[in-house]
Amino acid sequence: MNTTWNSVLDCLTSPDPGGKTICVDQDDMDFLEGLGPATFSFLNEMYLLSSRTFALAIHVWKKFIAVRYHVGKPRMGQVQLLKTGLPNVSCACYVLCCKFVETHIPRIEDVAAFFGDNVTATAIRHHELQILQDVGWDVNITTAVDVLHAIMTCAPPCLQALSQRAELYVNVGYCDTTLSNFPLPVIAVGSLLAASCDEFNTVARVDSPYLRFVPEHLITAECVLWCNSLRNWMRRCGR
């Protein structure tokens, strides 16, 4: 390893004195929060893997960031090193979640090749272990996709087709920091509302006639808010 990469590893794996997490400014925290979804979206589209892999990667990435970083005044030189090494970490997070969810996973060498010289298979393997240590070796995390699948077990056959579009909307919502912070049932039901609005050309309502199979206590005004916020956000993004 060269001197620069060793410095990056030191930055990522050595907490500040006193046991504190690594300190970054708000711009770099925004970069961190956006890097995971951007990496996972690219790789999920490249390999056509499941929505649950994407959703799980988002949750593990959030957990990793919460454990490893906090907003404050960074140490001199730390900010530049941060962005150099982090694509290896986001790739490692995705590969780790593929191993947990998928039957056939992408080769680490192929994943690294997509991102050029700054990402290597060796670094990805190193950071898989680092992420596991930081999240307490626990990646068995419930996602909004899991909640959606549970709800869809009650759906009649004629509405099962909503599931695929709803999964897409869950993952689109996960790409926005605000939408991804809603409770999991709200994201799951909100995505179903969005899918039904598209399928039946209607508006989101708490008493939607197309979602009568959803337990009544789960369809709330917050779900309608999430659905409408998602659709507005997608329009602003040109999706």
Q: Tell me the per-residue pLDDT of 207-234, one tens digit each, with 9 for 90 and over.
A: 999 999 999 999 999 999 999 999 998 8
Amino acid identity, position 217? H
Q: Provide the 10 A C-beta neighbour count for residue 150.
A: 12
What is the chain's mean pLDDT, rounded?
86
Picking from 94, 115, 84, 85, the residue whose alpha carbon sits closest to that of residue 40 is: 94
In angstroms, the first-to-last Cα distance of the chain is: 42
Helix/strand/coil for 206: coil
Residues 69-83 have a mean pLDDT of: 65
**What's the predicted TM-score (pTM) here?**
0.83
User: What is the rounded radius of gyration, in angstroms, for the C-alpha atoms of the chain?
Assistant: 19
* Percent of the chain residues past pLDDT 90, beyond the cut: 62
Amino acid identity, position 40? F
Distance CA 201, CA 195 (A): 10
Q: Provide the 10 A C-beta neighbour count for residue 177.
A: 12
Q: What is the pLDDT of residues 8-51, one digit of tens each?
A: 344 444 433 334 478 888 888 888 899 999 999 999 888 988 99
Q: Would you say residue 5 has pLDDT above 50?
A: no
Q: What is 3-134's CATH number, 2.60.40.10, 1.10.3720.10, 1.20.1560.10, 1.10.472.10?
A: 1.10.472.10
Comparing 15-19, 159-163, 170-174, 187-191, which segment has the lowest mean pLDDT? 15-19
Q: Would you say residue 70 has pLDDT above 60?
A: yes
Q: How many H-runs (helices) and E-runs (strands) does the chain carry?
A: 11, 2
Residue 7 pLDDT grade (very low, low, confident, very high; cuts 50, 70, 90): very low
